[in-house]
Chains A and B, each alone.
Chain A
């Protein structure tokens, strides 16, 4: 299918910092100023103005799921407000084709004094459902929400979880052609969340166009098929999902190494032959070099680890696995090479290292020293064979050179 569901064409949105005049008393001086200095053209910034969105363009095909990611204040919400017609762009145009539904602030239309039943009809019509549709889906909505017998209780007596579940259930039964979701999948308890995820997947299968805003990259990676990254109102990256998610992590910057103990050895450098941000195909081999220098005689165990969204993927403290430590004399420097074939599913992986005592205590620990993004390959799915090749060399040789280490599961 080639028909376009959403098209944004060079959209700019201007906002004003600070207070506006919002009483009639302040209007007169403001009007006088405007007459004296003339109205400002739309494309120009005043003293207190700033661009919340700058030249944003993208296109979403019918049935596609687009992830919108970016750090807080990047312009994601402003963009959604334009898509839901709440705001009008200062410059530029956009169009949406089909009924737009939004899962944003799903309880906004609730009135606390009305019962669950009354609120279903009220909120349903506020978000654009016809009365007949609400009547037809009423039982399904109540069922999905799990509110049960409380449906005739005023919502002010609901727990916040019940409130949110009811709101979500109403919105979930809107059946729009374009669905805009802003970080609402965290509603309710574990069971309800599972229900929401299944519902979302069914929706995508049924061909609904989805715009998904989230800080949860795993959810974005599993639900979307393309993404845009917003940074200070601009599209910093767009297109292929894993590349954009990788760019998002990169824009977060490096973390400072953590020095955990009074250290007699420290990392001089940890680097990757291809740079600190690497995009690889599944199975591609990447080599990292880790240079450590000692200020006193010591026995060390350098370690290397890979995480994905806080979940460990690869973790090694090689010296202990080999049964003897890396021994350094005062002033000596050793370089350890880590070579890993990224036989892993598509996604963003963070590479970290640590330096420890042979006994097990850490001197130094750094996560996210490099970021490796594995591109999408339909042949690679699920668990992957991981061949870890370890190359070790040290000046002032005390331990024998190149060693191979195999670890993996298929």
Chain B
């Protein structure tokens, strides 16, 4: 297992220029002959935020509350994260099969194909993040010391996404229906991940269930540290009608971290062990 990881790391590092070229290619191809140009990068996050606002508006109407500016920030920060996850998986799942002419003809570490999909999506997302940085102050977000958590949370998001991408690209090579399963799961995944809502809205029991989703810790962590200025070392809860509901529990971070690391290492080992079959099965 260690040997697999070692050979994967060494080979990908040796081919880092190839990874860079393929990432550039993926980015170029997205913007070449594209009517929307760079607006494309924030198209998906914008749609996610809009859908979230409609849902939150409806919820506010029922409970007789008003929608606050900070709610837009809450949804936007998680929406950008989710858009990264969905976009990267969408492209990465098809990356090996889509490049079958390369896979069957030229040897290079195949990891670079899904990795370049994640890289190209990271480029798009960073445009989204930059836009967000400009907008957030107008939504009432102020500088907090809790911003120190942001790099760690983004790292965990990238690691987890990379792990799942490696796994799915490989699975789709052997089983072509994986792509469709992924599409369906990602389409409805937004309702199983707290993007439009917060776990505490589901009640004490529901909040704990929602926290089992490894993305909850990462995305809620981002929201709390950026928008609420909450230091993630400490738990946070709200009391609704005399019942305490959890908003944040520090173990979520550990849980998501373990998930991300296991995902990326596990998938890397699996990918390495199977890649000699790619040219034959693709």
Query: Do A and B share a complex?
Result: yes
Residues in chain A within 8 A of chain B (CB atoms) = 15, 20, 22-25, 27, 81, 84-88, 102, 104-105, 108-109, 111, 113-114, 118, 121-122, 125-128, 130-131
Q: Is B234 an interface residue (CB 8 A)?
A: no
- Given A20-B281, A24-B178, A87-B276 in contact, is the A104-B25 Cβ separation under 8 Å? no
B side interface size, CB within 8 A: 30
Interface residue from A15, A23, A85, A102 paired with B176 (Cβ < 8 Å)? A23
Q: Assess the B175–A108 pair: CB atoms within 8 A.
A: no
For the complex, give the distance between the alpha carbons of A81 and B29 in Å: 30
- Given A86-B107, A87-B279 in contact, is the A131-B177 Cβ separation under 8 Å? no
Interface residue from A20, A84, A85, A126 paired with B102 (Cβ < 8 Å)? A126
Contacts of B106 in A (CB 8 A): 84, 86, 102, 105, 108-109, 126-127
Q: Assess the B108–A126 pair: CB atoms within 8 A.
A: yes
Q: Assess the B17–A131 pair: CB atoms within 8 A.
A: yes
Q: Assess the A122–B104 pair: CB atoms within 8 A.
A: no
For the complex, give the distance between the alpha carbons of A127 and B17 in Å: 11
Contacts of A15 in B (CB 8 A): 280
Q: Is B101 an interface residue (CB 8 A)?
A: yes
Q: Is B51 an interface residue (CB 8 A)?
A: no
Q: Is B70 an interface residue (CB 8 A)?
A: no
- Given A108-B102, A111-B29, A113-B29 in contact, is the A24-B177 Cβ separation under 8 Å? yes
| Most A Cβ at <10 Å: residue of B102, B106, B181 | B106
Annotate B10-40 by CB proximity to A: 1 below 8 A, 0 otherwise.
Answer: 0000010110111011001100110000000
Interface set, chain B 69-107, CB cutoff 8 A to A: 101-102, 104-107
17 contacts between A and B (CB under 8 A): A22-B175, A22-B281, A23-B175, A86-B279, A87-B276, A87-B280, A105-B101, A109-B102, A111-B25, A113-B29, A113-B32, A114-B29, A118-B25, A122-B22, A126-B21, A126-B102, A126-B108
Q: Is B174 an interface residue (CB 8 A)?
A: yes
CB distance from A147 to the nearest CB of B (A): 19
- Given A86-B107, A131-B17 in contact, is the A24-B280 Cβ separation under 8 Å? no
Q: Assess the A128–B108 pair: CB atoms within 8 A.
A: yes
Contacts of A105 in B (CB 8 A): 101, 105-106
Q: Assess the A104–B281 pair: CB atoms within 8 A.
A: no
The 10 closest A-B pairs by CB, nearest first: A88-B276, A85-B107, A108-B105, A125-B18, A86-B279, A125-B21, A23-B177, A24-B175, A105-B105, A131-B17
Contacts of B177 in A (CB 8 A): 23-25
Q: Assess the A126–B18 pair: CB atoms within 8 A.
A: yes
CB distance from A133 to the nearest CB of B (A): 10
CB distance from A171 to the nearest CB of B (A): 10
Contacts of B15 in A (CB 8 A): 125
CB distance from B106 to the nearest CB of A (A): 6
For the complex, give the distance between the alpha carbons of A124 and B18 in Å: 9
Contacts of A24 in B (CB 8 A): 175, 177-178, 181
CB distance from B39 to the nearest CB of A (A): 20
For the complex, give the distance between the alpha carbons of A23 and B105 in Å: 24
Interface residue from B17, B22, B105, B279 paired with A130 (Cβ < 8 Å)? B17
Contacts of B107 in A (CB 8 A): 84-86
Interface residue from A104, A108, A121, A128 paired with B101 (Cβ < 8 Å)? A108
Contacts of B25 in A (CB 8 A): 111, 114, 118, 122
Q: Assess the B176–A22 pair: CB atoms within 8 A.
A: yes
For the complex, give the distance between the alpha carbons of A114 and B32 in Å: 9
- Which chain B residue has the least Cβ–Cβ distance from A108? B105
Contacts of A121 in B (CB 8 A): 21
For the complex, give the distance between the alpha carbons of A130 and B14 in Å: 10
Q: Assess the B105–A104 pair: CB atoms within 8 A.
A: yes
For the complex, give the distance between the alpha carbons of A213 and B27 in Å: 38
For the complex, give the distance between the alpha carbons of A122 and B18 in Å: 7
